[in-house]
Amino acid sequence: MRIAVDHRTRYRFTEPQVRLVQLLRLTPQDSIDQTVVNWHIGVDCDARLREAVDGFGNRTTMLYCEGPIDAIEITVHGEVLTAGDAGLVRGVIEPLPPALFLRVTDRTRASAAMRDFAQEIAPGEDRIARLHALNSALHARFACREERNDTGLSAEAAFRREHASPRDLAHLLVALARAEGVPARYVSGYHTREDGEGHAPHAWAEAHVDALGWLAFDPSRGLSSDEHYVRVAVALDAAGAAPVAGSRLGEGRECLDVDVQVAELGRQ
Amino acid sequence: MAAGQAFDEIRGQDGPDAIRPEFAALGAWLDRTPQADLERRLEAAEATFRQLGITFAVYGDADAAERIIPFDIVPRVFTASEWAGLSEGLVQRVDAINAFLDDIYGAREILRAGVLPEELILGNPQFRPEVVGTRPPHGIWAHICGIDCVRTGPDEFFVLEDNARTPSGVSYMLENREAMIRLCPELFRDFRVAAVDSYPDMLLETMRSVAPASAGAEPVCVVLTPGHFNSAYYEHSFLADSMGVELVEAADLVVDDDVVWMRTIGGRVRVDVIYRRIDDDYLDPLVFRPDSLLGVPGIMAAYRAGNVALINAPGNGIADDKAIYSYMPEIVRFYSGADAKLPNVQTFRCREPDALRYVLDHLDQLVVKLVDGSGGYGMLVGPTASSAEIEGFRAALMATPERYIAQPTLALSTVPTLTERGLAPRHVDFRPFVLSGRGGVKVVPGGLTRVALKEGSLVVNSSQGGGTKDSFVLMGDAPAQQQTLGAMTQRQG
């Protein structure tokens, strides 16, 4: 599949800012299942950009901008060729061993209620079947609702609600998998929706199974990932994989506006 | 063990009035100096400390600003050969700590070799994935270590704790020495004491030696403090002052284009080396805690790009973590190929069946601690525990043995200390300071001696009534040194 991504992030400030420093995780990497054909990050003001790779192996871009700044728009445009086979994650740079992803963070703690929920799900014949069962059960339980900004909700808090964002569902699956001793991680990226809707970055989860390596599950759809996905960043939870982590020097409030267009340009 | 059975570092083991032959001069000084005179000098020293503002804050204490750590006028003394032995062990240990950090954030050979259980590292919050794949300039991680030791005999030292993050206390070493030179100059005539006042120069040399390749011939070094409300602020400003470098707060630094700059009246100055006294969690809000106002946004990007040296390196907490401590002898052996010269306090890891069996058979003689506990919570002190407490711990140990370690109770050494009722033995520990730079690992000939001022007490923490003493390291046949004090010069030896 050839997928085109347009991702626009616009910050407006009620007072001019003196300077901005941002850490962007907005660039996908090549793997067996995805080839970045072209990718460009643009900024609508005089900013300096520096590329690097973080400890998780994610490609990062540091953005430095001197004020006065009333607004800044970061535009990402690119095209990626994707394959994808039943959620297998292949040929990805892995600087960290799977066991690191057993670590529980504040956002990925499994509450007693979550454990009870998991207990009621059929155990599954093996680990892979069990992960599929957890993934489907989460999909069935929550109405999935897109949210453009990270609300910082933990898995425990998200579980108490009726609806959940892709980020919340990814946290929930990560928390449930870790609680059962399966290494699991949060993934941010893009997904092309059948209905053509969807205006936010997407999030899902990967779990590690010894026989196969990392497998990607999308609890928002109750399915494995496939050629409709562009994988960008992984981390222990959403905070570590955030598309933009920013710091600003200046008074006033900020207003964030995000828009994502993901289009399938056809099969190759 | 009771204080009476402990080794006294000055008097030896022959009773309250004896003196070790090496320290006859100190014995004579103690005999001929009236108590009132010692008290007068002690008060003068404490008045100076108060005036300098060497205070520490006890949380929740309204008088915090008034508190100084009590000082004791009777020095602790190491002979040249005792010191040589201790130093060798410290150098070996700090070399191993540096090698361990370089490995654990790099190839992880030690995990492959099965020396440590993988989950002990990977599941430990002190192991920072954000640091993986980065190597600090020149591969040095633990530039400043404070290795806390206890002693049970003339050459019997044990490491109690490694401090490889931001160990404090070096200002006490320096201020205590200044006070002793001023108030007890005769001691420096009687003894050839190694000078410690070169510490700021050694530290600056260490910092410059690890400057990144981009730095010029005169690397720009700064001390980064969380601010004046921090309990160690005095030390931050003292060190910056005595090294002649800028003391900065986060707001004084900006990162631009992956380079750290310092704002000055004359414009931006590129910074090469930062001695940061801010914990990893607060260092960079973009990478660690996003709510941190103490940190510098982008500083980790500058560090990862190799444009700045951070002292100590981020991620060091994994080397001095409690759960790792019991493996230090194995870690030293893995990287040095030799047994640790400086042993740990014997530690039984109850996760191991043989150790658990021994611990359960000797609960009345051991101290049992939670691996993830702190502040004395979840701790059994066997010799003073009731049988009900012991049985309670027995049940807990059998239920979740992996959560516990056990250690024998040590007879900590004592040093004569001035009390209201004259000189009396008090238990001490010791924090030597070890510097690692491109030129190798160096031990400062001195350190911070902490003393438990309460009779029989083993608790030396300043927040719980502990005090400090000067720590003399005697020179063998080395040439006489000079101890400088402001405009005054005191010749020793």
User: Among B122, B133, B290, whose Cβ lies nearest the Cβ of A97?
Assistant: B122
Contacts A60 to B, Cβ<8 Å: 301
3-state secondary structure string across A41-56: EEECCCEEEEEEECCC
> In this predicted structure, what is the pLDDT of residue B275?
98
Contacts A95 to B, Cβ<8 Å: 132-133
Contacts B290 to A, Cβ<8 Å: 239, 245
> In this predicted structure, what is the pLDDT of residue B61?
47
Residues B389 and B439 in one domain: no
> In this predicted structure, what is the pLDDT of residue B387?
92
Distance CA A121, CA A131 (A): 10
User: Among B128, B133, B254, whose Cβ lies nearest the Cβ of A95?
Assistant: B133
Which residues are registered as beta bridge partners of A4? A79, A263
Q: Does residue A207 sit in helix, strand or coil?
A: strand
B122 within 8 A of A104, measured Cβ to Cβ: no
Whether residue A207 has pLDDT greater than 70? yes
Q: What is the mean pLDDT of the segment spanning A81-86?
A: 88
A100: CATH: 3.10.620.30
Q: Is residue B2 part of a domain?
A: no
Residues A29 and A133 in one domain: no
The whole domain housing B200 covers: 8-212+308-341+411-491
Residues A134 and A168 in one domain: yes
Contact check, Cβ <8 Å, A62/B122: no
Half-sphere exposure (CA, 13 Å, Cβ side) for A12? 4
B472 within 8 A of B73, measured Cβ to Cβ: no
> In this predicted structure, what is the pLDDT of residue B388?
93
A246 within 8 A of A238, measured Cβ to Cβ: no
- Token match 């997928």: residue? A3
B267 touches chain A (CB under 8 A): no
A21 touches chain B (CB under 8 A): yes
A87 to chain B, closest Cα gap in Å? 25
Residues A106 and A232 in one domain: yes
Residues B302 and B318 in one domain: no
Q: Is residue B133 part of a domain?
A: yes
Look up residue B208 and give its DSSP letter: H
Residues A121 and A220 in one domain: yes
B372: CATH: 3.30.1490.270
Distance CA A137, CA A241 (A): 25
B125 touches chain A (CB under 8 A): yes
* pLDDT confidence band for A267 (50 / 70 / 90): confident
Over its C-alpha atoms, chain A yields an Rg (Å, rounded) of 18
Half-sphere exposure (CA, 13 Å, Cβ side) for B128? 21
Residues A169 and A137 in one domain: yes
Residue in chain A closest to B298 (alpha carbons) equals A21
> In this predicted structure, what is the pLDDT of residue B293?
84
Q: Is residue B59 part of a domain?
A: yes
Residues B335 and B383 in one domain: no
The whole domain housing A162 covers: 84-239
Tens-place pLDDT, residues B397-429: 999 898 898 999 888 999 999 998 899 999 999
Residues A8 and A66 in one domain: yes
A36 touches chain B (CB under 8 A): no
Where do the DSSP E strands lie in B164-215? none
Query: What is the total count of domains within chain B?
Result: 3
A40: CATH: 2.60.40.2250
Q: What share of chain B is helix, strand, coil (3-state, %, to 5)?
A: 35, 25, 40
- Assign residue B422 a region (left: φ > 0; alpha: ψ between -120 and 50; beta: otherwise): left
B146 within 8 A of B93, measured Cβ to Cβ: no
Residues B225 and B100 in one domain: no
**Of B142, B18, B68, which is closest to residue B435 (Cα–Cα)?**
B142
What is the torsional sign of CA B418, B420, B424, B426?
negative
Q: How many residues does chain B have?
A: 493
Residues A169 and A234 in one domain: yes
Low-confidence ranges of chain B (pLDDT < 70): 1-4, 55-66, 372-377, 462-464, 477-493
Over its C-alpha atoms, chain B yields an Rg (Å, rounded) of 23
Distance CA B267, CA B426 (A): 54
Contacts B127 to A, Cβ<8 Å: 100
Residues B220 and B303 in one domain: yes
**Of B39, B31, B118, B122, which is closest to residue B73 (Cα–Cα)?**
B39
Q: How far is CA A60 from CA B133, B167, B349, in A?
A: 14, 32, 41
Residues A68 and A91 in one domain: no
Residue in chain B closest to A105 (alpha carbons) equals B125
Residues A129 and A228 in one domain: yes
Contact check, Cβ <8 Å, A99/B132: no
Contacts A21 to B, Cβ<8 Å: 255, 286, 297-298
Distance CA B487, CA B493 (A): 20
Residues 6+ apart with CB under 8 A from B450: B428, B429, B430, B431, B460, B461, B462, B466, B467, B468, B469
Contact check, Cβ <8 Å, B132/A97: no
Query: What is the total count of domains within chain A?
Result: 2
Contacts B301 to A, Cβ<8 Å: 23, 50, 52, 60, 62
Q: Is residue B1 part of a domain?
A: no
Average pLDDT, chain A: 94
> In this predicted structure, what is the pLDDT of residue B458?
76
Tens-place pLDDT, residues B46-88: 898 888 877 655 444 444 455 778 999 999 999 999 999 999 9
Residues B272 and B156 in one domain: no
Contacts B256 to A, Cβ<8 Å: 48, 64, 66
Whether residue A204 has pLDDT greater than 90? yes
Tens-place pLDDT, residues A163-190: 999 999 999 999 999 999 999 999 999 9
Q: Which range is least confidently modeled, A83-92, A131-140, A172-181?
A: A83-92
User: Among A23, A52, A96, whose Cβ lies nearest the Cβ of B129?
Assistant: A96
- Assign residue B410 a region (left: φ > 0; alpha: ψ between -120 and 50; beta: otherwise): beta
ipTM: 0.95
Q: Which of A108, A247, A249 to mutate to test the interface with B (most CBs of B within 10 A)?
A: A247
Q: In what order do the strands lie in the sheet with B253-256?
A: B253-256, B259-264, B267-270
B305 to chain A, closest Cα gap in Å? 8
A193 to chain B, closest Cα gap in Å? 31
Name the token pair of B489: 């010069």
A236 touches chain B (CB under 8 A): yes
> In this predicted structure, what is the pLDDT of residue B429?
93
Exposed e or buried b per residue across A98-123, where buried means at least 16 C-beta atoms within 10 angstroms of its C-beta: bebbbbbbebbebbeebeebbeeeee
Residues A69 and A123 in one domain: no
Residues A119 and A199 in one domain: yes
Residues B150 and B69 in one domain: yes
Residues A228 and A97 in one domain: yes
Which residues are registered as beta bridge partners of A65? A20, A47
> In this predicted structure, what is the pLDDT of residue B1?
39
Name the token pair of A35: 């080839």
B135 to chain A, closest Cα gap in Å? 11
- Written as one string, the DSSP assignment of B351-391 is TSHHHHHHHHHTGGGEEEEETT--TTTTEEEGGG--HHHHH
Contacts B123 to A, Cβ<8 Å: 99-100, 102-103
